[in-house]
A and B are shown apart, each in its own frame.
Chain A
Amino acid sequence: MMEYSEEIKKAASAVPDSAFVKYQPSQQEAEPELPRALSFLEDSWRKLRKNKAAVVTMILLLIITCLAFLAPVLSPFDPNEQHLSWKNLPPKWPGVSIDGLNGTTLFRGRRVDSYELAKVPEGQCFLFGTDEFGRDLLSRCLWGTRISLIIAFIAALLDLSIGIAYGLISGIKGGRTDTVMQRILEILSGIPSLVLVVLMLLIFEPGITSIILAMTISSWIPMARVVRAETLKIKQMEYVQAAKALGASNVKIALSHILPNISGIVIVRAMFSIPTAIFFETFLSFLGVGMRIPNASIGTLLNGGYKVFKLYPYQMFIPAFILCVIMLSFNLFADGLRDVFDPKMKEG
């Protein structure tokens, strides 16, 4: 306590209380009311909105996903229903008379109405044409996209869960566990994933489940690496140290301190793994070891189209176009997300 001298006390008591005025801040000086803090999602959306390509592709992806998942309602035919007399009909759009979309084929230099030749009733149109068994390609494309997307989404989800779990455990435990787990990763990453996937597919019964499993086996590794690297970084942060000092368990630290802080990077990674999964599915089905016929997936459609593409190029072009649009959209959207969540991350 400071001891004031008698003189100061006397001087102070000489000033009357009324001399003191309550401080009234003026309009300008008043502290501006802080804007409401943005939540994680709001903030990300605000940044993402600035990237036009990302927004456009996001809308495109939403439309494609909706169309694909509404396939049972939207498709005009059963995707496996065969009309043998209506096979290999070119696309026909009602009211459109452009060559290629009006149901005519070039035959010996002049256009022939294939629909009339095949005795298709008036008014019956196949927007994407039919394939070699007379199956409606529009329905097959819808169902095929649906299956390819389902495979990609589930595979990405599995990658994500395994990768996160592995990376978190390896990063948090550290020491010996980390070394062993990293050695395992190093060995696994020396196996070309394609070869692994093909081997797996030879062993499992072909089908959706086995494709998903085969892809997951090889593709969780990069995710695990990223998660571990980030975990090691965040583990050094003071708030994690504090939580540890207060006796928080490893599980608690992982779930409530580390996971929320790496979610951005994880989301970006997951977005990039969806197109990879779609690519693998089409690739395998194209080779003939993926989805089994007659089931439609983008890969089997491409495979079927490739067999006849010299005669009926539309059977290959339509699925190829759908595939390219989906792949491009996912990649552009993921690029946009990366700029939002992780601007410092190097490409690749």
Chain B
Amino acid sequence: MKRWSKYIGKRLFYMALTLLIIASATFFLMNVLPGTPYNNQDRLTAAQLEMLNKKYGFDQPLFQRYINYLKNILHGDFGISLQFSDQPVATLLSQRMGPSIQLGLQAVLFGTVVGVFLGVIAAMHQNKFLDVFCSLFAITGRSVPNFVVAVLLQLLFAITLNWLPIGLWNEGFRSTILPTLALSISPMAESCRFIRTEMVEVLSSDYIELARAKGMSEIRIAFSHGLRNALIPLITVLGPMTVSLMTGSLVVENIFAVPGIGEQFTKSILSNDYYTIMAVTILFSALLVAVIFLTDILYQIIDPRVRVEGAK
């Protein structure tokens, strides 16, 4: 127990340090950005500029602003959006959190389930037609960028066939189908490849031979005996999966006009909305760091063979 608390304490410290560095780096980088957040600067008089600067706190020295910024973050205050009708960034983002989380979860769930299924099928028919087919599918999924998939889906199901809404977020579940599909391609490919490798190894182990000798059906062996052991290492893919989902959400949310974090981030980038950019950066980093941390902890709890590193 003691070594766990020590390990977790150490990890939490590094997580905090990572986030601090990211917050500071973003802050200083934002301050050397070319251009100003005022898109009608030419028409502003010197007095107006001064007033605006004062309002947003741009008149204070850099270091003072840095300290204020860090202090406010700790209180959950990410400043006021410079573009979107003076809303606090925290409110702006929390309104947009819902669709992004929903899409992300749906994509991970759907992608992993289908991917795992395909991976098991591939491993059961190693080097036969189905295996080649599944592997080809996986490598295509890894190669074709998800924004291309998104546009193709949109063209096929929304424009040509007219089955599903082309975009927006106003038809409940129906409008989530296409973005979910587009986002789920990479988790699907990732987990299919991973499970196949794991299953090939598991299926040649002794206890599977025993099950076979007892006369169990291949399907039962694969899904109820083999898959259990092959699933554990899948946890390690969670980190990279999160990253690819965050990346994907930026374009996919844009293409389908989903009011989520990704779409907000793209808008903010194109309009120099400093505070929103910084907030999303920190949010994404925090999410990634947390996922990596959870993955490590979970993996160690589930698989006792993995020792806590550095503590004995």
Q: Give A residues with C-beta under 8 Å from B.
A: 183, 186-187, 189-195, 198-200, 202-203, 275, 279, 282-283, 286-289, 302, 306, 309-310, 313, 316, 320, 323-324, 327-328, 330-332, 335, 346-348
B34: which A residues are within 8 A, CB to CB? 203
Would A190 and B288 count as touching, CB distance under 8 A?
yes
Q: A324-B144, A327-B145, A348-B194 are in contact. Are A199 and B281 (CB under 8 A)?
A: yes
In the complex, which residue of chain A has the Cβ closest to the Cβ of B19? A190
B272 to chain A minimum Cβ distance, whole angstroms, is: 8
Would A289 and B147 count as touching, CB distance under 8 A?
no
Question: Quick one: which of A186, A194, A282, A310 contacts B145, CB cutoff 8 A?
Answer: A282
Cβ of B51 within 8 Å of any chain A Cβ, yes or no, is no
Would B251 and A286 count as touching, CB distance under 8 A?
yes
Would A202 and B33 count as touching, CB distance under 8 A?
yes
Q: How far is the CA of A203 from the CA of B155 in the complex (A)?
A: 35
Q: A190-B18, A310-B159 are in contact. Are A320 and B151 (CB under 8 A)?
A: yes
Would A202 and B269 count as touching, CB distance under 8 A?
yes
Cβ of B270 within 8 Å of any chain A Cβ, yes or no, is yes
B266: which A residues are within 8 A, CB to CB? 287-288
Would B14 and A187 count as touching, CB distance under 8 A?
yes
- The secondary-structure label for the interface of chain B is helix
Q: How far is the CA of A331 from the CA of B29 in the complex (A)?
A: 34
Would B251 and A283 count as touching, CB distance under 8 A?
yes
Q: How far is the CA of A313 from the CA of B155 in the complex (A)?
A: 9
Would A347 and B194 count as touching, CB distance under 8 A?
yes
Would B269 and A289 count as touching, CB distance under 8 A?
yes
Q: Quick one: which of B15, B34, B269, B292 has the most chain A CB within 10 A?
A: B269
Q: How far is the CA of A191 from the CA of B284 in the complex (A)?
A: 8
* Interface residue stretch chosen among B90-98, B104-112, B242-250: B242-250
Return 25 A-B CB contacts under 8 Å, by A number: A190-B15, A190-B18, A191-B288, A192-B243, A192-B284, A195-B280, A195-B284, A200-B29, A202-B29, A202-B33, A202-B272, A279-B145, A283-B251, A286-B147, A306-B255, A309-B151, A310-B155, A320-B152, A323-B148, A324-B143, A327-B144, A328-B140, A328-B144, A347-B193, A348-B240
Would A283 and B247 count as touching, CB distance under 8 A?
yes
Q: How far is the CA of A190 from the CA of B296 in the complex (A)?
A: 14
A335: which B residues are within 8 A, CB to CB? 139
A195: which B residues are within 8 A, CB to CB? 280-281, 284-285
B268 to chain A minimum Cβ distance, whole angstroms, is: 10
Q: Quick one: which of B139, B151, B193 has the most chain A CB within 10 A?
A: B151
Would B33 and A203 count as touching, CB distance under 8 A?
yes
Q: How far is the CA of A279 from the CA of B247 in the complex (A)?
A: 11
Q: A183-B14, A287-B250 are in contact. Are A190 and B151 (CB under 8 A)?
A: no
In the complex, besides A190-B19, A347-B193, 8 extra interface pairs with C-beta distance below 8 angstroms are A192-B284, A194-B246, A199-B29, A200-B29, A202-B269, A302-B147, A309-B155, A320-B151
In the complex, which residue of chain B has the Cβ closest to the Cβ of A193? B243
Question: Quick one: which of B21, B193, B251 contacts A287, CB cutoff 8 A?
Answer: B251
Would B284 and A347 count as touching, CB distance under 8 A?
no
A324: which B residues are within 8 A, CB to CB? 143-144, 148
B151: which A residues are within 8 A, CB to CB? 306, 309, 316, 320
Q: How far is the CA of A323 from the CA of B151 in the complex (A)?
A: 14
Q: Give B residues with C-beta under 8 Å from A.
A: 14-15, 17-19, 21-22, 26, 29, 32-34, 139-140, 142-145, 147-148, 151-152, 155, 159, 193-194, 197, 237, 240, 243, 246-247, 250-251, 254-255, 266, 269-270, 272, 277, 280-281, 284-285, 288-289, 292
**Closest 5 pairs (CB-CB, A-B):** A327-B143, A190-B18, A328-B143, A190-B289, A187-B18
B250: which A residues are within 8 A, CB to CB? 194, 287
Q: How far is the CA of A287 from the CA of B250 in the complex (A)?
A: 8
Q: A190-B285, A203-B29, A348-B194 are in contact. Are A331 and B139 (CB under 8 A)?
A: yes
A331 to chain B minimum Cβ distance, whole angstroms, is: 5
In the complex, which residue of chain B has the Cβ closest to the Cβ of A324? B144
Question: Quick one: which of B142, B152, B246 contacts A192, CB cutoff 8 A?
Answer: B246
Q: How far is the CA of A232 from the CA of B255 in the complex (A)?
A: 46
Question: Quick one: which of A183, A309, A331 contacts B143, CB cutoff 8 A?
Answer: A331
Q: How far is the CA of A316 from the CA of B26 in the complex (A)?
A: 35
Q: A187-B14, A309-B151 are in contact. Are A288 and B270 (CB under 8 A)?
A: yes
Q: A316-B151, A328-B139 are in contact. Are A283 and B145 (CB under 8 A)?
A: yes
Q: A199-B281, A282-B145, A309-B151 are in contact. Are A287 and B194 (CB under 8 A)?
A: no
Q: How far is the CA of A332 from the CA of B270 in the complex (A)?
A: 35
Q: How far is the CA of A191 from the CA of B285 in the complex (A)?
A: 5
B34 to chain A minimum Cβ distance, whole angstroms, is: 8
Would B251 and A275 count as touching, CB distance under 8 A?
no
Q: How far is the CA of A183 from the CA of B11 in the complex (A)?
A: 11
A306: which B residues are within 8 A, CB to CB? 151, 255
Would B159 and A191 count as touching, CB distance under 8 A?
no
Q: How far is the CA of A309 from the CA of B21 in the complex (A)?
A: 42
B14: which A residues are within 8 A, CB to CB? 183, 186-187
Q: A187-B17, A194-B247 are in contact. Are A199 and B26 (CB under 8 A)?
A: yes
Q: A187-B14, A287-B266, A309-B155 are in contact. Are A192 and B139 (CB under 8 A)?
A: no
In the complex, which residue of chain B has the Cβ closest to the Cβ of A194? B247
B240: which A residues are within 8 A, CB to CB? 348
Would B285 and A194 count as touching, CB distance under 8 A?
no
Q: Quick one: which of A191, A282, A316 has the most chain B CB within 10 A?
A: A191
B21: which A residues are within 8 A, CB to CB? 187
A327: which B residues are within 8 A, CB to CB? 143-145
B234 to chain A minimum Cβ distance, whole angstroms, is: 11
Q: How far is the CA of A254 from the CA of B22 in the complex (A)?
A: 33
A94 to chain B minimum Cβ distance, whole angstroms, is: 28
In the complex, which residue of chain A has the Cβ closest to the Cβ of B285? A191
